[in-house]
Structure 1
Amino acid sequence: MDLPVIPSSANPGTAAQNSGGDVDQRIHLLDLDVDQLRSWLVEQGQQGFRAKQIWNWIYQRRASTFAEMTDLPKKLREQLEQHFVIFRASEVDAVCSSDGTDKLLVRLFDGGEVECVLLRDGIRRSICVSSQVGCAMGCVFCASGLDGVDRNLTRGEILEQMLRLQSRLDEDERLSHIVMMGMGEPLANLDRVLPALDEARSPEGLGISPRRITISTVGLPPAIDRLSKHGVPYNLAVSLHAPNNELRTQLVPVNKRIGIKAVLDAADRYFEANGRRLTFEYVLLGGLNDSDACARQLLGILRRRNVMLNVIPYNPVAGLPYETPSAKAIADFKDILVSGGVNVMFRQRKGSEIDAACGQLRRNRQSV
């Protein structure tokens, strides 16, 4: 059976260093799917049904070591320990907010760091997960991309974030929603994001409905079209942030070679293919994109589309010159859109006391 290859320094993703600095040659088990594990078990002279037992221990019973899997034969547990590791990364920081938001800073095997967040809201238990170390999209107000992008995360590294956040829940709590809206551009890493989400929605995995999984993007039309052809009705959230090309290019530099029309057309095609109402994200920046004129331009773009506009008042980042809009600017912006017939939701700011916006925790630690 073909297993993930131990990477060289130019192709990171599977090997890790132990405390003595030696490379750990074991395979990251989360890089495999259950069929690959079943094939490996049969090759080792074990019974194939054990694969679902192991998956149940990891995804449902929240085991982080093979020693916890007490209904497996001792010899099999020893074989698994010899060949695989469940958690490859390590938690280097964890902060909790009084509003129920937990944020983790996770250090990967090669020293890269990513962030992921657990949000508690009523009965909802949502997680926000990263797809890259850093980000190449260059959004000027976002801490994630201030230092560019280092690399894509592997399937296993994406799933490990989900499992680490799940482990912070009480036994009677279950994850309800997943948002690919952490560090990085998910559509720039679809080869790993889609397999990870396939596991997240699988009954043998986390069992979360695709209708409760959202993929966020600044808008990469070819990748949106590829996602349409994947055939799974994930929610698509397009980070718009401006109603015209001049302002959007200022805030989201990648827009210069794409343009708003191409992004909207690709989003329309996704809606036609999946029938899922689109969400457009709009970070409201004081004195930049929060004017009445911007609201009216945005109304002209969205009023004839079946969309939800998710407006997020800016969460300040140390070292960046952007500010949260005034209460009046927020109210006026909302009134123009609502009176024009656009479905608008103003997101409640959660986790601000723990720097829950993407990239803030990592950047704060780097500046110490």
Structure 2
Amino acid sequence: MQKIDFKSLSLEEMKQLFLKIGEKEYRGEQTFNFIHKNMVDSISKITVLPKDTRDKLEKNYTIGNISVLERYDSKIDDTKKYLFLLEDGNIIESVAMKYSYGTSACISTQVGCKMGCVFCASTKEGLVRNLTSSEILSEVYNIQKDLNLKLSNIVLMGSGEPLDNYDNVINFLKLLHDEKGQNFGYRNITLSTCGLVPKIYKLADEKIPITLSISLHSPFDEDRKRMMPIGKKYRVEEILKACYYYVEKTNRRITFEYTLINGENDRREDLEELARILGGLLCHVNLICLNPIEEFNKTKAKEDKIQEFKNRLNQKGISTTIRREMGSDINAACGQLRRKYIKGL
């Protein structure tokens, strides 16, 4: 029988579990608090519980964990990239990036990805499996323990499509936010999606005030289809309609990720159409320089084109910034390091 992972249980589930096994309800709250505040990785370390209780729990319960397989430190900036080994032998990656306001982590939600975006390394081997909410939490906890700090921001923008692992991701968000645990602010969490429209509506109805980030990369359906297979299922117009609904429900500004590719989506008509479709929407555009991968023989847009996009969109009243390239010397772009490591085995 597979052991139940304490790290995936909500506070209420933990209290009910302790009652079920003949313990006091407050012991469940004690355990939840201790696990998440202290980020412990085994039941034997829950020292607020008597030893005989811990021994009893270890027969049927566990605390899932992942281990640091490799850590790569950038010589250019303070970026650190982690390869994590899961208990079943799979490998995922996360990135910690230091900014003036604190340290932000970009974490994965799946082993691999099935979305097939042509310029993304994490999707080339397809989807292996979803991460559990415990495993996603373990990325955060391992980084915090390794760097001896509390992260200021978390971005679900690593390997995988978060909304394709909806239930585990929502559970992760609620566990991380719980005031009896890490008490991590929702407003400091960003979730990036390639545009799973029904799940955007579902997320909006949760009324969890995280930042929603849409990987757009083209305002034209036909061009977007070539870059992002999800474009064959959901049109740009449908995504924007879902975004308006999200803003209405959460009062949160949407971020649009736009990777500028030379000769592909950096033309004047791309710029003008992007400004047109985003006009009137509470949003921000994050322009991204392309990270080259072997299977995609395109190059990033020229500097003057990037600046033109930024200036023109700002002139049109659409808040726009250029994302700073970080950790380029350690393959910090999503999926690159995992693939390199696996190929080298």
Flag whether TM exceeds 0.5 (same fold).
yes
Distance in 1, matches of 2:311 and 2:268, equals 10
Out of 102, 106, 109, the position equivalent to 1:128 is 106
Check if 1:83 corresponds to 2:60: yes
Cα distance per residue 1:61-94 (max 9 Å; x no partner): 2322334333331212323333333234333222
Check if 1:256 corresponds to 2:232: yes
Judged with a 3 Å threshold, the aligned counterparts in structure 2 of structure 1 residues 62 and 192 are, in CA distance, closer, same or farther, namely closer
SS class of match (1:78): helix
Counterpart contact for 1:292–1:332, Cα < 8 Å: no
Shift of 1:174: 1.5
Counterpart contact for 2:41–2:65, Cα < 8 Å: no
What is the match of residue 220 of structure 2? 244
Check if 1:340 corresponds to 2:316: yes
What is the match of residue 56 of structure 1? 33
Check if 1:199 corresponds to 2:185: no
What is the match of residue 19 of structure 1? none
Of stretches 288-297 and 272-281 in structure 1, the one that deviates more from structure 2 is 288-297
Comparing both chains, which one has the higher relative contact order based on Cα–Cα distances under 8 Å and sequence gaps of 6 or more?
Answer: 2
Distance in 2, matches of 1:365 and 1:319, equals 17
Out of 95, 118, 122, the position equivalent to 1:117 is 95
Distance in 1, matches of 2:202 and 2:311, equals 36
Distance in 2, matches of 1:186 and 1:114, equals 14
Counterpart contact for 1:291–1:333, Cα < 8 Å: no
Cα distance per residue 1:26-66 (max 9 Å; x no partner): 33222222222222323333332223332333222232233
Out of 105, 124, 127, the position equivalent to 1:146 is 124
Out of 155, 169, 173, the position equivalent to 1:179 is 155
Of stretches 328-337 and 344-353 in structure 1, the one that deviates more from structure 2 is 328-337
Counterpart contact for 2:17–2:28, Cα < 8 Å: no
Alignment of 1:277-296 (within 5 A): 277-296=253-272
SS class of match (1:344): strand
Distance in 1, matches of 2:250 and 2:88, equals 38
Shift of 1:304: 2.1
Distance in 1, matches of 2:31 and 2:185, equals 22
Check if 1:94 corresponds to 2:71: yes
What is the match of residue 204 of structure 2? 228
Distance in 2, matches of 1:319 and 1:227, equals 33
Out of 245, 248, 252, the position equivalent to 1:269 is 245
Distance in 2, matches of 1:116 and 1:79, equals 34
SS class of match (2:58): helix
Shift of 1:204: 1.6
Distance in 2, matches of 1:175 and 1:89, equals 18
Q: What letter corresponds to residue 277 of structure 2 in structure 1?
A: I
Cα distance per residue 1:159-188 (max 9 Å; x no partner): 222211221232xx3222221111111111
Of stretches 180-189 and 37-46 in structure 1, the one that deviates more from structure 2 is 37-46
Structure 1 vs Structure 2 CA RMSD: 1.8
What is the match of residue 352 of structure 1? 328
Shift of 1:319: 4.3
Cα distance per residue 1:83-116 (max 9 Å; x no partner): 3332343332222224222222223233332222
Distance in 2, matches of 1:119 and 1:83, equals 38
Q: What letter corresponds to residue 40 of structure 2 in structure 1?
A: A
What is the match of residue 47 of structure 1? 24
Distance in 2, matches of 1:350 and 1:125, equals 13
Counterpart contact for 1:28–1:88, Cα < 8 Å: no
Distance in 1, matches of 2:156 and 2:217, equals 18
Out of 17, 22, 42, the position equivalent to 1:65 is 42
Cα distance per residue 1:250-285 (max 9 Å; x no partner): 111110121111111111111111111111111112
Distance in 2, matches of 1:353 and 1:257, equals 36
SS class of match (1:356): coil
Out of 214, 217, 223, the position equivalent to 2:190 is 214
What is the match of residue 164 of structure 1? 142
Distance in 1, matches of 2:7 and 2:40, equals 13
Judged with a 3 Å threshold, the aligned counterparts in structure 2 of structure 1 residues 346 and 339 are, in CA distance, closer, same or farther, namely same
Q: State, as a whole percentage, how many aligned pairs show the same letter.
A: 36
Structure 2, unmatched stretches of 5+, are none
SS class of match (1:258): coil
Counterpart contact for 1:292–1:336, Cα < 8 Å: no
Distance in 1, matches of 2:300 and 2:240, equals 27
SS class of match (1:49): helix
Of stretches 189-198 and 280-289 in structure 1, the one that deviates more from structure 2 is 280-289
Structure with greater helix percent: 2
Cα distance per residue 1:196-224 (max 9 Å; x no partner): 10111111222112111111111111111
Cα distance per residue 1:126-178 (max 9 Å; x no partner): 222211111111110001111111222222222222211221232xx322222
Aligned residues: 343
